[in-house]
Every structure is written in structure tokens, then in C-alpha cells.
Amino acid sequence: MANPLFDIAFGQHVSKTTPFLRLPDGEVITHSQFLQSVSRYAHLFVQLGLQPGERVAVQIAKSPQALMVYAACVQSGVVFLPLNPAYTAEEVSYFINDSGARLVLCDERSLESIKAIAHSASALIETLNADGSGSFTQKTLSLPGTFDTVSRSEDDLAAFLYTSGTTGRSKGAMLTQGNLLSNARVLVDQWQFTSDDVLLHALPIFHTHGLFVATNVCLLAGSSMLFLPKFELDVVLNLMPTATTMMGVPTFYTRLLSDQRFTRELAGHMRLFVSGSAPLLSETHVQFEERTGHRILERYGMTETNMITSNPYSGDRRAGTVGFALPGVEIKITDSSSGTSLAQGEIGDIEVRGPNVFQGYWQMPEKTAEELREDGFFITGDLGQIDKQGYLQIVGRNKDLIISGGYNIYPKEIELILDKEAGVLESAVIGVPHPDFGETVVGILVAEEQVVPDLDAIKQNIGQSLAKFKHPQKLVLMPELPRNTMGKVQKKALRERFNGLFS
């Protein structure tokens, strides 16, 4: 097949006049209308001189046009690199330079701050705003609504998604057409999506959950999406009667439960609620079922792997677990030091192998070799155990990654900034339980001798370098950080100490 991901996911809908995107204001974009715009975007990529395999870095708001950019990248063979709109220019600079992006798309409001970065990286720059306006779309207006899809194979790259550990540089996870297509096919079957489904889509589209899982599943099944710019409680409650399914992060479900308008009757016609990107508290499971009669389906995935496991569609969806390995995916629990497989019930590293697993980290062969074994198993960095019934339970992370509201936050990045603040000797950043976000960020500071740091000033200062979702919800002064005999900071002790800070 000339271009598996485009031909199978997008191309099958070329002539369809059925709704694909339903917008909050009532506007409907059909499959054929969507793909005509996609073709115009692909033509512009060619006019701008982009070659298959080159990268397009995109830091724009969620919109139908943003989704069209993703599809146009697939159709033209260009690699899609979505970036969180909340990233600062300083953060974006690294991604553009590291990826070697050939084109940068940004909102007009960010143009002045991003322009110099793009130019220094020898990248082109165009604008695309939340309402669909901008220099990029303006240049596509007179271009043809059909495009000869560029030939690609399942082994060719489709996207970069940047992720990171707790130390070192962010890593560009390279995802192929085959990675994305294989995962979407499995999920359509496992979650029983059909052309009758309408997905309530309130997720961002700069990471796996909202972009690849939701979008690709709906495309393969021929489903339509209620495409919302973000999660707004009133809007979601108003539109839920017209939906059949919903994918969300735990925050979505706790906010729904906080509103008495969310009733069993309102959710009665819904077929499926899916949760991921962060752990769902057991009490949320219980409260949701008591309120609606629905049991949320929790699953487990990563940037590098897309979806790995899922609780069953038909069967016991167990709170506190992420279900079974998806068809075609292998999971094993291994000893952290030796890599040998552990017996059932023992806790160890979760490793995964399958067609969903990425190809490695961009220009980081050593880091790739550390985390992706020669036999194809990827070391996820999560700790887990498999019970007698085969359900996977994630019991912790052997890295200090914080997941807040579905967003990955890397403590080292924040610590480096805190350590530079006036009066701060050293810092440690941890994640602690939060009733709304699952986890939130807390910064522990040790002051320089005979100095009292201005915590309010520090909060204000770090806002200039960090996206808002990374900001510590609380800064705490301590006389010293707990350390082991080797001098390593004991973050586990800190997490235990501040575990109930927001309860």
C-alpha cells in the first residue's frame, strides 16, 4: 500500500459526506471537507520545499485545522511534531533545534518570540490561530483540494513526540506509521468502536491520548467526534446527550462528579467512558459507578508505546489495575538490576514488546540502547505486578516523573530553575496526591545560610521559564533534604512526608 496510515485511516473517507467533526457552535465538518483541506495543506508543504521525513514543529491551539495539519503531514510523508501550547519560547527553542524542524507553525501571538528561534534554526515559520486564520491557511486557499499521497511504508516515521526522564535532555520518541496504525486497529476492536459512535473529545492533541488514540480510532471506525477546544464542564454536560463515548484523564471524571447535573439519566445513553494518562483513584471508580451505573475503563499507555494494556470491554474492569496486555503486545515484569523475568505477583520493572513500540529516540543511540533492548522489549520505567488473573497493577515509578492532570512533568527541569533562585541552596521537586489533578508539584527548598528566600518572588520568577502546568502548587522550606549514605536525596521520604498536603 502506498501510504498505509493515510490510506487506511484517512483515505477510506475521501468521498464520505458524513460528519467527522462536530464543533460546539453547531458547525459540522464532513470527512470529505476535512480531507479537501488536508490536501491543500499537503500541497503547501510541497510548495514550501518540505521533503518526506523532514519535521514540522507545531505549537498551536487545538482546532480542526490543527488536526488537518497532522493528516497533511501523514499524506505528504512529513514527520509531525506537536508541542504543548503552554511551553515557553525557551522550551520550544530546544525542540526546534534538536528535531531539526524544517517548518514551525505557531499562533500569531507567539510569532515575535518564536520567529528568532526559527530563523536561527534555519526553519521556515508560518502562523495558524485557534480560529483557523493565519498565514498558513491563507496560503492554502487557492490550492487544489486533491493531492497525490506520498508513498510511505509502515516503517517510515510519522511523528516525533518529546518525552523525558528525570535527568538529561528531553527525548524525541520516533513513532512510525506501523506503530500508530497497529495500535488503532487493536483499540477499535477491543473497545468496539463503530461508525455509530460519537466521541466526546475534550483532550489536547499534542500527545498520544488525544491525538493518536482518539483520532486514529475514530478514523478507522468511521466514528465522528464532538471536537471541543478543551474540557469545560458546562459544555461537556450540555453535549453529553449527543455523544456515545468519552476519553478523558482522571481530572475530567472528578470534575463531572463534582456537579450534581451529572446524573445517571444524563450518562444513561453513553456506551463507554475511558480513562488514562494518569492513575484513576479507586474512590473515583466507585463514585462514578454509583452515580451513573457505568464502570470507567482504565488503560495504560506511554508516549513511546501508545496503548499497552486495557481493562476489558466485556468483563470485570478492576479499579486499581490497567487490565491485560492488548492483542499482539507482550508484557513482562523484570528485576531492575538483572533484567530477568520475575514470578507472577512479584513487583518489578514493566517491559513491553509489540508493533506499537517506538523505533528509538531521535539522535540518542545510547539512551535508546538503555531503554530499548535488542530483543525489542522496551523498559517503561514503571514498576508493576501481574496478579493471578493476569491484571496489571502499576505500583509506582522507578523514575520521579510526575503526572498532573495527564501532563508529564520532569522534576529535574524545575529543580534546575529553583536552584538558581536567590537564597536557594538546593531543591527537590516531588509529586504528591491531589484530588483534582491526580498529582501536583511541590518544591522543597533548602535556604542558603542565614538567608530567608522570598517564596512569592520565586513563584513569580519561575513562571517566565516554565509552562503553567509545571508550576509548583506549593513551595516548602526545610533545613536539609533527606539523603541516603551515598548522598542521594530520598524523594520517597519526601513524598511520604507531604503525602496529605492537599487532602
DSSP letters, 375-444, are TS-EEEEEEEEE-TT--EEEEEESS--EEETTEEE-HHHHHHHHHTSTTEEEEEEEEEEETTTEEEEEEE
Give the integer Cα–Cα distance in Å for 101 and 95. Answer: 8
Q: What is the mean pLDDT of the chain?
A: 92
Residue 333 — very low, low, confident or very high, per pLDDT cuts 50/70/90? very high
- Cα 481 to Cα 107, 410, 447, 477: the distances in Å are 42, 19, 11, 10
State the CATH class of domain 4-18+29-152.
alpha beta
Higher pLDDT, 417 or 14: 417
Name the least confident of 346-355, 396-405, 414-423. Answer: 396-405
pLDDT surpassing 70 at residue 164:
no
The mean pLDDT value for 471-486 works out to 84
pLDDT surpassing 80 at residue 228:
yes
pLDDT surpassing 50 at residue 212:
yes
Give the integer Cα–Cα distance in Å for 214 and 316. Answer: 23
Pairing of strands 79-82, 103-106: unpaired
pLDDT at position 397 is 67
The mean pLDDT value for 353-370 works out to 95
Q: Does the reported pTM lie above 0.95?
A: no
- The answer to whether 416 touches 424, Cβ cutoff 8 Å, is no
The mean pLDDT value for 249-260 works out to 91
Give the integer Cα–Cα distance in Å for 108 and 126. Answer: 9
Say how far residue 296 (Cα) sits from the centre of its chain.
Answer: 19
What are the pLDDT digits (tens) for 189-210?
999 999 999 999 999 999 899 9
Alpha helices in 11-162 (DSSP H): 31-47, 64-76, 89-99, 111-120, 135-140
* Burial grade of 151 (CB within 10 A; 0-12, 13-18, 19 or more): exposed
Q: Which grid cell is 424?
A: 536557594
Which residue ranges does the chain devote to CATH 3.40.50.980? 4-18+29-152
pLDDT surpassing 60 at residue 214:
yes
Residue 1 — very low, low, confident or very high, per pLDDT cuts 50/70/90? low
Which residue ranges does the chain devote to CATH 3.30.300.30? 402-497
Give the integer Cα–Cα distance in Å for 448 and 6. Answer: 57
Give the integer Cα–Cα distance in Å for 378 and 329. Answer: 11
The mean pLDDT value for 266-272 works out to 95
Residue 447 — very low, low, confident or very high, per pLDDT cuts 50/70/90? very high
pLDDT at position 290 is 96
Residue 232, strand partner residues: none
By residue count, the chain amounts to 503
Q: Which CATH architecture has domain 402-497?
A: 2-Layer Sandwich (3.30)
pLDDT surpassing 60 at residue 429:
yes
Q: Which grid cell is 287?
A: 463514585
Residue 101 — very low, low, confident or very high, per pLDDT cuts 50/70/90? very high
- The answer to whether 37 touches 106, Cβ cutoff 8 Å, is no
The mean pLDDT value for 43-59 works out to 98
Residue 353 — very low, low, confident or very high, per pLDDT cuts 50/70/90? very high
In the 8-state DSSP scheme, what is residue 213?
Answer: I
pLDDT surpassing 90 at residue 415:
no
The mean pLDDT value for 312-338 works out to 93
Pairing of strands 324-325, 306-310: antiparallel
pLDDT surpassing 50 at residue 486:
no
pLDDT surpassing 70 at residue 375:
yes
The mean pLDDT value for 180-184 works out to 96
Q: What is the percent of the chain where pLDDT is above 90?
A: 77
Say how far residue 395 (Cα) sits from the centre of its chain.
Answer: 21
